[in-house]
Amino acid sequence: MQAYILRRVVQGILAIFVICTVTFALARVSGDPLNVLLPEEASEEQIELIKAEWGLDKPLHMQYLQYLGKLFRGDLGEAIAWPNSTATELIVQRLPNTIKLSALALIVSGVIAFPVGVLVAIKKDTPFDYGGKLFAILGQSAPTFAVGLILMWIFAVQLNIFPTSGSGGIEYIILPALALGYYNVAALMRLTRSSMLEVLDTEYVKLARIKGVPEWKVVWKHCFRNALIVPLTYFGLIGAVLITGSVVIETVFAWPGLGHLVIKAILFRDYVVVQAVVLLFATAFVIINIMVDVLYAYIDPRIRYT
């Protein structure tokens, strides 16, 4: 088990290192940052001055080493498009918003998906089940921005219950969280349903029934806890969906989080901020994946040896 964890962590660190390199390379290809830093009529001296200030006069591999060195000390660099603020500051400002949104989306998914998944499993082949299937299949087929906009149109424009976009009180976060959680609700619900059906069919459940255990106890105590294992191991996928989804949903609802920030930074060609946010997202993604793999290996020992 230790060897497995070690192997996954080394792989993860390697992945993060490659991601650093790729983002660095791509950010440099994406147009000369000088175009953003300088007005068009800048003189030769001004160009040289700025180049020296940003370290752009050095050869590319030196810039890369410098970037890695700074990164190692936790310095993500000065933002280009946001004057007087560092990338770290920008991220620290917006990170809580993204965490709030993702956490709420996660809670929403769990609270809806598990009970409904159990319900449709018990009521297999009834209208409940078909409704649940339709809901799950729709969740896989609707892009996040479409879900967000349709929810916005129904609940904010037509019914006027929530504000359309922006940030502020609790009423601003509900629609984006629902939209962000929808895909996960669909995926988790399907998984819960199929693993519940499997468990409901086992011998010990039959025995419990024969012994006269009340049906609710059979379902919630004997089955549900065992059925939970499979969906829980899919949290890696869920983390990925939350990260990519938040970029889209924050743009749709003008929610001031990291996704909103990175889209703006790409528009402004602020490679420092793009690098920083992408690195943060990718690191989070890698860590979630390692945690899930380790959890999975803990639950299912066969995984460790493959």
Partner 1 sequence: MAAVTTSPEVTGVDTQQRAGRVAKVVRAIRELPLIPLVVLIFLLVIPAIFANQLAPHNQRIGVLDDAKLPPFWVSESFESRTVVQRADKDRLDVEIGLTNAQRKVERGEATILSGGEDGTVDPGDTLRFQANKGGSMEYPLGTDKQGRDILSRIMHGARISLMVSSLAILLGGGLGTLLGMMAAYRGGKTDAIIMRIVDIKLAFPSILLALVLVAAIGAGFTTVIVVIAVLLWARYARVVRGEALAIKQQDFIDRARVSGASNARIMMRHIFPNLVNTVVVLATLEVGHVIILESTLSFLGAGIPAPTPAWGVMVADGRDLITTAWWIFLFPCLAIVLTVLSMNLLGDWLRDKLDPKLRNV
**What residue ranges bind partner 1 (CB under 8 A)?**
11-12, 14-15, 18-19, 22-23, 26-27, 29-30, 137-138, 140-146, 149-150, 152-153, 157, 164, 240, 243-244, 247-248, 251-252, 262-263, 266-267, 269, 274, 278, 281-282, 285-286, 289
Nearer of residues 119 and 240 to partner 1, judged by Cβ: 240
List phi, psi (to 5°) of 86. Answer: -90, 160
Nearer of residues 15 and 294 to partner 1, judged by Cβ: 15
Nearer of residues 87 and 278 to partner 1, judged by Cβ: 278
Amino acid present at 203: E
CB-count exposure of residue 155 (10 Å: 0-12, 13-18, 19+): middle
Q: How far is the CB of 158 from partner 1 (least distance, A)?
A: 8
Residue 263's CB is within 10 A of a number of other CB atoms, namely 16
Q: How far is the CB of 23 from partner 1 (least distance, A)?
A: 6
Nearer of residues 184 and 218 to partner 1, judged by Cβ: 184
Nearer of residues 106 and 243 to partner 1, judged by Cβ: 243
- d(CA 259, CA 73) in angstroms, rounded, equals 24
Q: How far is the CB of 226 from partner 1 (least distance, A)?
A: 19
Residue 247's CB is within 10 A of a number of other CB atoms, namely 19
Nearer of residues 11 and 226 to partner 1, judged by Cβ: 11
- d(CA 287, CA 303) in angstroms, rounded, equals 18
Radius of gyration for the alpha carbons in the chain, expressed in angstroms and rounded: 24
Q: How far is the CB of 240 from partner 1 (least distance, A)?
A: 6
- d(CA 293, CA 290) in angstroms, rounded, equals 5
- d(CA 214, CA 229) in angstroms, rounded, equals 23
Q: How far is the CB of 101 from partner 1 (least distance, A)?
A: 16
Q: How far is the CB of 301 from partner 1 (least distance, A)?
A: 19
Q: How far is the CB of 280 from partner 1 (least distance, A)?
A: 10
Query: Which residues, listed in sequence order, are joined to residue 78 by a DSSP beta bridge?
Result: 86
- d(CA 194, CA 227) in angstroms, rounded, equals 9
Cα 293 versus chain centre, distance = 17
Nearer of residues 110 and 163 to partner 1, judged by Cβ: 163
